[in-house]
Amino acid sequence: MQYQPPAGLTPAEAGTLLDHRVDMRDITATIVDLAVAGHLTIEEREESALFGLLKNQEYVFHRQAPAAGGRELHRHERLVLDGLFESGETEVRLSDLKNEFYRHLDDIRSGVFDRLVGSGLLRSRPDRVRQYWTVGGLVLGAGLAVLGNVAAARWNVAPLPVFIGAGLCGLIVVLFGQVMPARTVAGARGLEQVRGFEEFLTRVEGDRFGRIEKTPEMFERYLPYAMAFGVEGKWARGFKDIYLEPPRWYAGSNPAGFNATSFSSRLSTMSSHASSALSSAPRSSGGSGFGGGSSGGGGGGGGGGAF
């Protein structure tokens, strides 16, 4: 059991160390982590459409000057922050980032991978390892198909089984390559710590942890990690009687009845909306290359406080 995140690992890096992928869930967890650190605030708005007949949920990010003495942001964190406020405005709507923010995702992903490699936790970048094996599998399959076709014509053998065999060989190499990214010895130890911390976040509501001093500050500090792991609902339930005041960095459209579980649910909804908007790309661009990874949360209702 690990009662705090591994030293030096951000939520996105910890989430990536788990599965070798930088998911949109890691990106949205980084946004919340930046908010907790004072770099931005998140405002939830309920806007009317069609003469008030429809209600739309909108999220607005407000850039803030962090307090002095905070740690220096890592490259992927700076890229997320600068990508959100690329327009130069200190206030930006999530809907305005649709078909725009996706251009930063590859650089953000590279920032996370490069730091894990540079920290000695990964042997090489997982995305490039998978790419090499995919290309190798395709080349192998095509080469075997060509050679098999020549051999089939020479010995008067039906070519279809040859093509099927070549395709299967290439497919096996491609699939094998998906599990080839490897951690270093230090990375394996780091993974154990991350998994231990994930277990703590998941089981904190149990009686076993009754002696741990739970504070609102602890809830906020570890919340981005819980979001990166997809366990924010369970983390929040452990603080339902402790985290009773809205945070300074989140303003909800319905501040009545605030509690930790309802706040976690609202953050999960925000994360889902943000994952969709930030990864969306115009049809002509061919997409962002990012999968899902947005997390669901527990509880409903409630909201955040005012700025």
Least confident segment among 47-51, 189-193, 201-205, 301-305: 301-305
In terms of average pLDDT, the best of 7-11, 60-64, 121-125, 262-266 is 60-64
Residue 6 belongs to a domain: no
Compute the distance between CA of residue 133 and CA of residue 44 in angstroms, rounded to an integer: 43
What per-residue confidence (pLDDT) applies to 298? Answer: 40
- 98 or 208: which carries more pLDDT confidence? 98
Q: Are residues 157 and 18 in the same domain?
A: no
Q: In angstroms, how far is CA 130 from the centroid of its own chain?
A: 19
What is the rounded average pLDDT for all residues in the chain? 83
Q: Are residues 54 and 164 in the same domain?
A: no
> Under a CB-based contact definition with an 8 Å cutoff, are residues 107 and 79 in contact?
yes
Query: If pLDDT is split at 50, 70 and 90, which confidence band does 287 have?
Result: low
| C-alpha count within 13 angstroms, C-beta hemisphere, residue 88 | 0
The predicted model gives 153-167 an average pLDDT of 77
Compute the distance between CA of residue 298 and CA of residue 231 in angstroms, rounded to an integer: 9
pLDDT tens-digit series, residues 24-41: 999 999 999 999 999 999
pLDDT tens-digit series, residues 199-239: 999 988 765 666 678 899 999 999 999 999 999 999 999 89
Q: Are residues 86 and 166 in the same domain?
A: no
Q: Are residues 200 and 79 in the same domain?
A: yes
> How large a percentage of the chain has pLDDT more than 70?
82
Q: Are residues 192 and 73 in the same domain?
A: yes
Strand order in the sheet with 54-63: 91-93, 54-63, 40-49, 250-251
3-state DSSP call for residue 64? Answer: coil
Give ∠ CA 110-111-114 in degrees, rounded to 5.
75
What per-residue confidence (pLDDT) applies to 240? Answer: 87
Residue 306 belongs to a domain: no
> Under a CB-based contact definition with an 8 Å cutoff, are residues 44 and 59 in contact?
yes
- The pair of structure tokens assigned to 107 is 């650089």
Q: Are residues 168 and 229 in the same domain?
A: no
Residue 2 belongs to a domain: no
Query: If pLDDT is split at 50, 70 and 90, which confidence band does 55 have?
Result: confident
Q: Are residues 104 and 196 in the same domain?
A: yes
Is the model's pLDDT at 184 over the cut of 80? yes
Residue 254 belongs to a domain: yes
Is the model's pLDDT at 253 over the cut of 80? no
How many distinct structural domains can be found in the chain? 2
Compute the distance between CA of residue 278 and CA of residue 268 in angstroms, rounded to an integer: 15
Is the model's pLDDT at 248 over the cut of 80? yes
Q: Are residues 31 and 172 in the same domain?
A: no
Compute the distance between CA of residue 76 and CA of residue 87 in angstroms, rounded to an integer: 18
Q: Are residues 59 and 37 in the same domain?
A: yes
Q: Are residues 75 and 191 in the same domain?
A: yes
Q: Are residues 68 and 118 in the same domain?
A: yes
Is the model's pLDDT at 297 over the cut of 50? no
Q: Are residues 173 and 186 in the same domain?
A: no
Instruction: Count CB atoms within 10 A of the CB of residue 303.
Output: 20
Residue 305 belongs to a domain: no
Residue 276 belongs to a domain: yes
Compute the distance between CA of residue 196 and CA of residue 83 in angstroms, rounded to an integer: 32
**Which residue range forms the structural domain that includes residue 156?**
126-177
Instruction: For strands 91-93 and 54-63, give the pairing.
Output: antiparallel
Pick the last residue of a domain from 162, 177, 192: 177
Residue 92 belongs to a domain: yes
Cross-strand partners of 60:
43, 93
Least confident segment among 16-20, 57-61, 250-254, 266-270: 250-254
Instruction: Count CB atoms within 10 A of the CB of residue 182.
Output: 13
pTM value?
0.79
Residue 58 belongs to a domain: yes
